[in-house]
Amino acid sequence: MSALPIFAITSGEPAGVGPELCARLLERDWPVRLVVLGDIGLIRARGGKSRRVVPFDAALGRGPAGALEVLHVPLNAPAQAGVLDPANASYVLALLDRALAGCQSGEFAGMVTAPVHKGVINDAGVAFTGHTEYLAEHTHTPLVVMMLVGGGLRVALATTHLPLAAVPAAITREVLEETLRILHADLVARFALAAPRILVAGLNPHAGEGGHMGREEIEIITPVLETLRAEGMRLIGPLPADTLFVPHTLEQGDAVLAMYHDQGLPVLKHASFGGGVNVTLGLPIIRTSVDHGTALDLAGTGRADPGSLFAAVELAIDMARVRA
């Protein structure tokens, strides 16, 4: 029997829903080998006593049938559901570091991340804005693109986790052009779209109303679109963001590029929360993630929906196949 590709699943913030959602991966038969990274005692405790949770054995070509394999990374401090503890921030980051190292070495075919709590990592003294930026930095990738997939939509972002006041200055011609190049290239290479059509949002209300409500569309966005169209990219915009997401317009594109986090993600999450997937484009590895956060209010209750984690695993597997 040939060895199965292994995908690493980081279990994320130990006070959140990540550990119990990872334990629920047992509910399905997967066509690949899944290895959850986390404290094995925590995964067992949050998954319920009857769950079969076993240590990961790298020497095996396949994991034991009907069991969930855990690559044990010890907690720094006991974890209590719903209660954040900065003492475990370095544990959360160690999960990411181990998964990334495995992806880079070829041990893992990709990584899927359960949610982390950005605030508690910062409270522990580590500047952290998200997996997206962390993985970019730790793979020395100058620019990556966050894209969420769900509800029949693909929504990518020109800027990610930064204060709204900092958004306009962050959208330079260089950043926008490179963002569109990454988005286009990965839609081709990882989503099997031969000639993707990308709907590009404006930044300002009504896409600036001809310059009367902001000039970024005229000075930044339109010149970049013209440059890239001349190379053959199929780009539509800049479009007013309020009507970009109406069905008639969405039908004309394969993906949307929104200018900032809360321009694009509320629409996507309204359409698919609990079943959406967050993908990092432009990385040298495959990384997908859930569309939700740590849900501290649900942690330990067993009521959190595993749908987004399942969809994230499925998408990572699909992306690996397209790429292979």
Ligand X SMILES: N[C@H](C(=O)O)[C@H](O)COP(=O)(O)O
Ligand Y SMILES: NC(=O)c1ccc[n+]([C@@H]2O[C@H](COP(=O)([O-])OP(=O)(O)OC[C@H]3O[C@@H](n4cnc5c(N)ncnc54)[C@H](O)[C@@H]3O)[C@@H](O)[C@H]2O)c1
**Contacts with ligand X, residue ranges (CB under 6 A):** 130-132, 261, 265, 278, 289, 291
Q: State the binding string over 191-230 for ligand Y (x if CB under 6 A, else -).
A: ----------------------------------------
265's contact among ligand Y, ligand X, none, with CB below 5 to 8 A by partner kind, is ligand X
Instruction: Specify the residue, 38 or 47, whose C-beta has the smaller distance to ligand X.
Output: 38
Site for ligand Y (CB under 6 A): which residue of 64, 119, 284, 302? 119
Instruction: Specify the residue, 85 or 291, whose C-beta has the smaller distance to ligand X.
Output: 291
132's contact among ligand X, ligand Y, none, with CB below 5 to 8 A by partner kind, is ligand X
CA dist 159 and 166 (Å) reads 10
Q: In the chain, where does DSSP find H-type helix?
A: 18-23, 40-47, 89-105, 118-123, 131-138, 167-170, 173-189, 216, 222-230, 241-244, 247-250, 261-272, 307-323
Cis bond upstream, residue 55 (ω within 30): no
Site for ligand Y (CB under 6 A): which residue of 117, 184, 190, 287? 117
Instruction: Specify the residue, 217 or 291, whose C-beta has the smaller distance to ligand X.
Output: 291
Q: Which of helix, strand or coil describes residue 123?
A: helix
Question: Whole-number minimum distance, CB 299 to ligand Y, in Å?
Answer: 9
Select the span of 51-59, 96-104, 116-124, 208-216 touching ligand Y (CB under 6 A): 116-124
* 49 annotated as a binding-site residue: no
Interaction with ligand Y in 120-179: which residues (CB under 6 A)?
131
Compute how many residues bind ligand Y; rule: CB under 6 A: 19
Using alpha carbons only, give the angle 6, 64, 1 rounded to the nearest 5 degrees: 65
* 248 annotated as a binding-site residue: no
Instruction: Specify the residue, 144 or 199, whose C-beta has the smaller distance to ligand Y.
Output: 144
Residue 118 bridge partners (DSSP)? none
Output phi, psi for 307, to 5 deg: -60, -40
Question: Whole-number minimum distance, CB 312 to ligand Y, in Å?
Answer: 9
Burial of 285 (0-12, 13-18, 19+ CB in 10 A): middle
Residue 154 bridge partners (DSSP)? 149
**Minimal CB distance residue for ligand Y:** 293
- Beta strand 145-150 with 110-113 is unpaired
Q: State the binding string over 288-307 for ligand Y (x if CB under 6 A, else -).
A: -xx-xxxx-xx-----xx--
Question: Whole-number minimum distance, CB 163 to ligand Y, in Å?
Answer: 14
* 131 annotated as a binding-site residue: yes
Q: Are 140 and 255 in contact (CB under 8 A)?
A: no
Residue type, 217: E
Residue 32: how many other CB atoms lie within 10 Å? 17
CA dist 176 and 15 (Å) reads 37
274's contact among ligand Y, ligand X, none, with CB below 5 to 8 A by partner kind, is ligand Y
Select the span of 52-60, 169-177, 190-198, 284-292 touching ligand Y (CB under 6 A): 284-292
| Helix or strand holding residue 200 (H, E) | strand 197-201
User: Tokens 């769950």 map to which residue?
Assistant: 51
Question: Could you tell me which residues are annotated as the binding site for a divalent metal cation?
Answer: 161, 206, 261
Residues binding ligand Y (CB under 6 A): 17, 115-119, 131, 274, 278, 289-290, 292-295, 297-298, 304-305
List the binding residues for substrate: 131-132, 269, 278, 287
